[in-house]
Structure 1
Amino acid sequence: MHKDLNQFTQRFEPDLLAEINSLGQIKKFKAGKVLIDFGSNVKSIPLLLSGSIKIIREDPNGNELFLYFLGGGDTCAMSLTCCMSHKKSEIKAIAEEDTEVIMVPLEYMDGWMKYATWRQFVFGSYNERFEEMLQAVDSLAFMKLDERLMNYLLDCKQSAGDFAINKTHQQIAKDLNTSRVVISRLLKKLELEDKIELHRNKIEIL
């Protein structure tokens, strides 16, 4: 069995783990590579073994909006939804860092519902991602941009497990659907408030 599947041993029955191991396909993605793109046919879902994945949404004008991060042991509920309903992908999944996943083919999803732990995993994933999407909607509707920015930085920290965030101001601006100038100004404000420390292409959470 693939060593990184060990993180699922407390979550899935041995028989289910054996099926995932034999039927799933291990794939590695370098940071910045797209796993799932807008409009693509989703024929398998990723179970994240290591690294992190950023999930973003696109509006009719082509503007992208950050939704949430996936960490080790997670899957993307929106990918599950597209798989189950045979819809084209409505999200883009990008490797935030070097990432390894096991891609599980769609045709086995229904059969695995006989496993209680798989049902719990699927419904738990829906619930977690739904709450994260509600937070994203709330931040757009009710939070000022500096609050959204700080929440985004904290999400990055939690996803990577590191207080140092290796992102440019332009990358952050794209995720938050604003301009680099605005992000640079707000980052400087957060630094003056002793919440972060700015370095070249790196931000440290204090």
Structure 2
Amino acid sequence: MLQTIIEHHFPHLAKNPQLKEEIVRSSELVQIKKGDVILKSGTYIKVIPFLVSGLVKIFKEDETGGEVLLYYIEPGESCVMSMTTLVKDEISKVKAIVEKDAEIVIIPAERALKMARNYPKWNEFFYDLFNLKFDELLHMVEVLTFSNKDRLLLEYLQKEATLHKSKKIQSTHQQIAKELGSSREVISRLLKKLEREGYLLLKQGLIQLVD
């Protein structure tokens, strides 16, 4: 089963037969529920996760306990920050929370380090993933720096709709504010502005994007 999962969801890693076999021998498939924390800020990396299904969000925490959404981990991806932190033997600076019930292939940290030393395909996978997530972060910085907040909010909602495959987004104003590093009052005001402009409809506990 694990071999089929690796071949289907992580084809780049499966191109090297020895690496694929090493991953199958070393890994475990686990089911994790929505809301579970799979990586805590300030802790050492114990496993490297590879997402098979579901959705994971990566947050940066500040000194006051506030959180800002950095990027998503989608099926077929891993946590590039986990691997980078593991290689540098540092504690994690990010937090990972399961957004949607997930299946995850986990590989113990010491086995992941061995694969990084022995298999170029492993490093290529993470280099490509790093470039992808770095581009996402650059886009976020661009929006935050050069754009108004309603554009940031609209792009966030559009991303959520795409990832959840639904234009109906079940999220509170407080939750959105937390992920965007804003306040509930600001988010509520911006949502009403976007509704007036025809981008969405606000319902009880629901935000529906309009085509």
Tell me the TM-score normalized by structure 1.
Answer: 0.91
Can you give the 5+ residue segments of structure 1 that lack an aligned partner in the other structure?
A: none
More displaced stretch, 74-83 vs 114-123:
114-123
Match of 2:151 in 1: 147
Residue 32 (structure 1) aligned to one of 30, 35, 38 = 35
Could you state the TM-score of these two structures normalised by the residue count of structure 2? 0.89
Kindly indicate whether the alpha-carbon contact (under 8 Å) linking 1:76 and 1:129 is maintained by their aligned counterparts in 2.
no
- CA 6–198 in structure 1, closer or farther in 2 if over 3 Å, else same: farther
How far did 1:199 drift? Answer: 2.4
- Please, which of 77, 81, 95 is the counterpart of residue 78 of structure 1? 81
CA distance in 2, matches of 1:70, 1:161: 15
Aligned match of 2:132: 128
**CA RMSD, 1 decimal:** 1.8
From 200, 203, 208, the counterpart of 1:199: 203
Alpha-carbon deviations, 1:123-166, whole Å to 9, x = none? 00111111112222222222211111111112212322332222
Partner of 2:18: 15
Find the aligned partners of 1:45 and 1:109 in 2 and give their Cα distance: 7
Contact 1:33 1:95 in 2 (8 A): yes
Task: After TM superposition, give the deviation of residue 106 of structure 1 in Å.
Answer: 2.0
Matched, 1:88 2:100: no
Moved more, 175-184 or 114-123: 114-123
Runs (4 or more) in structure 1 with deviation over 6 Å come to: none
Q: Which segment drifts farther, 1-10 or 76-85?
A: 1-10
CA shift, 1:29, in A, is: 1.6
SS in 1 for 2:156: helix
Please state whether the residue corresponding to 2:11 is helix, strand or coil. coil
- Per the alignment, in what secondary structure is the counterpart of residue 121 of structure 1? helix
Identical positions, percent: 36
- After superposition, the Cα gap between the structure-2 partners of 1:187 and 1:133, relative to the gap in structure 1 and judged at 3 Å, is same
Q: Is the CA contact 2:9–2:52 (under 8 Å) kept in the aligned structure 1? A: no
CA distance in 2, matches of 1:53, 1:149: 19
Separation of aligned partners in 2, 1:9 and 1:131? 21
Q: Which amino acid aligns with 1:85?
A: K
Aligned residues, how many?
206
CA distance change for structure 1 residues 87 and 139 in 2, over 3 Å: closer, same or farther?
Answer: same
Alpha-carbon distance in 1 for matches of 2:112, 2:179: 31
